Each structure stands twice: as structure tokens, then as C-alpha cells.
Amino acid sequence: MSVKHTTEKALQMLRTLPRVTIGNIRDNPQSKQNVKRGRGQHGGDKHGAGNKGSGQRQNYMRLGYETGNTPFYMRFKYEPYYKGHHLKREYPPISLHQLQKLIDTDRLDSRAPIDLTTICNTGLFEIRPDRLHHGVQLTDVGADDFRAKVNIEVQHAPESVIAAIERNGGVIRTAYYDPHSLYAVVNPKKWFEKGVPIPRRMLPPQDAVEYYTDARNRGYLADPERISQERLVLAQKYGYTLPKIEDDPDYAMLAEAKDPRQIFFGLNPGWVVSLKDRAIVKQK
């Protein structure tokens, strides 16, 4: 059959057949299912949901509805304490007792600097930047039993924790990480596999500048001379002899610190780490 004859036959069928409308089309095979389903002894008409009412119709009350009464959120006035509560930075806690246990079980090496990356690499702590986690806070639970000498960097620490670490000859530093840098810090392997440069750490926001520039908090933006003075003041307040870290055989490790724009030890912002090639591409 020629193409011309086939075309003419198709046109002839279109002239004779009616237009396609809702009334002259049929459903696809088995597109409609039998409405009687569910428990067989009830004929499938109730589907095991009972007889009438909101339980059968699945017309459940919305969250906060109190069956006609004035809802709780309308009976009381708005509290300004909760203003911006969903935007506040969160710092999941890690105690000195947990830190000592991690060191004793060789999950953390006290002979090297400890930061947020090494804590996350233990696999026991999860930092979620998408849930407004901005790092960890070191708590004083187990401060009397803490014996390790460490160089640690956290995001928040009270005065008692600072005293417990410096009493053993250690060094503590509080540092800020912006959310973009946190994604690389908490999972370096995933970041390196993407093949993108290491980000540059941003400076803290306006409401956090005061904390990270205060020597009493051992802020990473504070004056080093002021930190040395505050170390002595804290030792006198808590009644312990401050070890002289300059004479310590591990002084090189204790004095190691990151640049305020740096997020990894030994790796500068802008470098690309290739795990497949085991190479580091540096900026010229």
C-alpha cells in the first residue's frame, strides 16, 4: 500500500468519524476499580472505618482547634521572648566527661589539635547546619575528673570549662563558623568529593562579635596579650598554679592555631583537595 493511499484513507476516516469529545471516549482498560473493597463481611462499603462521623470521613480536627473554645494561642498575649526564636544559633553540648572518654578510648588524639572536624569524625556527634547548629558548646560536667592536656577549639565554653582545661596545661579557643563553612567542616570527605575549593570562613555577625573578641571567653579574635593576662586572673580566681606552656615539650602543638579565615589545619581557603588523585590543587 502506497503512502499516498494510506494518507487518503486516514483523511477519509477523519471525515466520517465524529469529533473526539468527553461523551464518545472510553477509559483505559482497568482504570476503574471496584468500589467494594476492604473487609469482606461488610461488603467493602465501610472499609473498616465504622459508621458515620469524623472517624469515617477522616475529617479530623486541625492542630490547635479546641472544639469551639478560644484556642490557647488566642487566650494569651504574644510573648516577646519568643521573637526570632526560630532563627537563634544552637550549639549542641559536649561535656568534659565525654571529651575525656573520647581521649581515653583513642577516638581523639590529644597530641594533635582538636577542633569541630575531629569531633565530628568520631561519628558520635552530629552537627546539622540545616537545623541552625553552629558548632558545639563544651560543658563542665566531669570537670573535676578531666586530666587531659589538649589544644581544643569549640564554639562556646563557660568559665569553669576554661579553668579545667588550662589547669592541666591545655589551651582552649572559641571560634565562629558561618553556615557555609560548617558544611565543609562537619563532613570534609563529602566536601572534597565535590571538587570545589575550600571556602573562606566569614567573620562573626554583629551580635557575636563581642563574644569572640573577648579575652575572657578565649575568643579567636581577641588580643593574645589580653588572653595571657586573663589566664593568670582565672588561675588566681580558681586557686591553681598556671602551667607555663612555653616550657612545655608540646609547646608547638599547644601554640598551633588557625587563621581567622581558615577552617582546616594545614589547608588554606581556595585550595581544592582531590581524594581520587590524592593531590591538593593550590592557588597561584
What integer pLDDT is reported at residue 4 of this predicted model? 74
What integer pLDDT is reported at residue 37 of this predicted model? 55
Q: Can you list the alpha helix ranges (DSSP code H) found in the chain?
A: 3-16, 54-57, 72-75, 96-104, 116-121, 159-167, 179-186, 188-193, 206-212, 224-238, 251-254
Q: Is 40 part of any domain? A: no
133 pairs with which residues across the strands?
A: 90
Range of the domain at 186: 86-281
Average the pLDDT over each of 63-77, 83-97, 128-142, 184-198 and give the range with the smallest value: 63-77
> What's the pLDDT tens digit per position in 25-80?
888 888 877 665 555 555 556 666 667 776 677 677 788 888 888 998 889 887 78
Q: Is 54 part of any domain? A: no
CA distance 1 to 45: 55
Q: Is 165 part of any domain? A: yes
Q: Is 11 part of any domain? A: no
Split into its structural domains, the chain has a count of 1
Q: Is 265 part of any domain? A: yes
Binning pLDDT at 50, 70 and 90, where does residue 97 land? very high
173 pairs with which residues across the strands?
A: 153
50 alpha carbon, distance to own chain's centre: 45
Q: Is 199 part of any domain? A: yes
Q: Is 28 part of any domain? A: no
The whole-number average pLDDT for the span 74-92 is 86
Nearest C-alpha neighbor of 174 from the set 123, 210, 143, 198: 210
Residues 6+ away with beta carbon under 8 Å from 44: 34, 35, 36, 37, 38
Nearest C-alpha neighbor of 218 from the set 233, 231, 208: 231
What CATH number is given to the structural domain containing 159?
3.100.10.10
DSSP 132: T
Q: Is 79 part of any domain? A: no
